[in-house]
Structure 1
Amino acid sequence: MSQLTTTARSTADAARPHLIALYRVVVGLLFTCHGAASLFGVLGGAHGGGTVPAGSWPGWYAAVIQLVCGGLVLLGVGTRTAALLASGSMAYAYFTVHQENALFPLQNGGEASVLFCWAFLLIAILGPGSFALGQALRRS
């Protein structure tokens, strides 16, 4: 291996935990915003400006999962568990809401569900990366 390749690889290895943390924060923030929009009508609200009726299945429960799990992933607290629950909820959403309309996500409007499902599965596998509040709490 050349010196340049070795240097590039060691730089990438050093940056990996920070890049994972940045990815976790962005995905967690976006998911949290979806939950807040559905529950509180902020950021444009749910489906055209409203809120999801409290206790309605599955919308209200999905919004609570989005808000809570998205927030936990964003902060890096209980990251793997929260990400796995979020991933599962998006798989459920895709197969029960979108899949029955058409085969492919582009046809059935399920792109966000598929992307969030796989994004959270990756976070559940990789962990929180650096700058996770859960790691800081464990140290103290």
Structure 2
Amino acid sequence: MVTRTRFDDSECPVARSVDAIGDWWSLLIVRDAFDGSRRFGEFQRSLGVAKNILSARLRTLVAGGVLESVPAADGSSYREYVLTPKGKALFPVIVALRQWGERHFFASGEPHSELVDRRQGHRLRALEVLSADGRRLDPDDTIVHKVSAQ
């Protein structure tokens, strides 16, 4: 079996974030949690993933503090998975991936799901990266600055 490269001690926040999430199954689990899935069976039906893979990904997300396993809200013996504050902080990441996918992987007029504002029913405005003073930034407007130990 191939050993997975770890990035949990990398100086790069992107590498550490990818290391924490693990793989695409995990992002889809987080997406489903935002959409209201809470139980193992709900995630399994939505994703069609093998139970052993789902179990492993859920364990990793719980261990990483992205999800929490809690007693079922209905009082049954089941466990449910809920997003922690750390998990909820992934919302802009999921929205960014969704909007990128809508823009680059669907033909004009091709049907797909949409994320809308619950209160007003309108589609979300495209995410933008803004400077501290509110200017819109593109990749050419930024550089990576290494922060040294203090």
TM-score strictly above 0.5: no
Normalized per residue, the structure richer in strand is 2
Higher RCO (CA 8 Å, separation ≥ 6 residues):
1
Q: TM-score of the superposition, structure 1-length normalised?
A: 0.28
Q: TM-score of the superposition, structure 2-length normalised?
A: 0.27
Normalized per residue, the structure richer in helix is 1
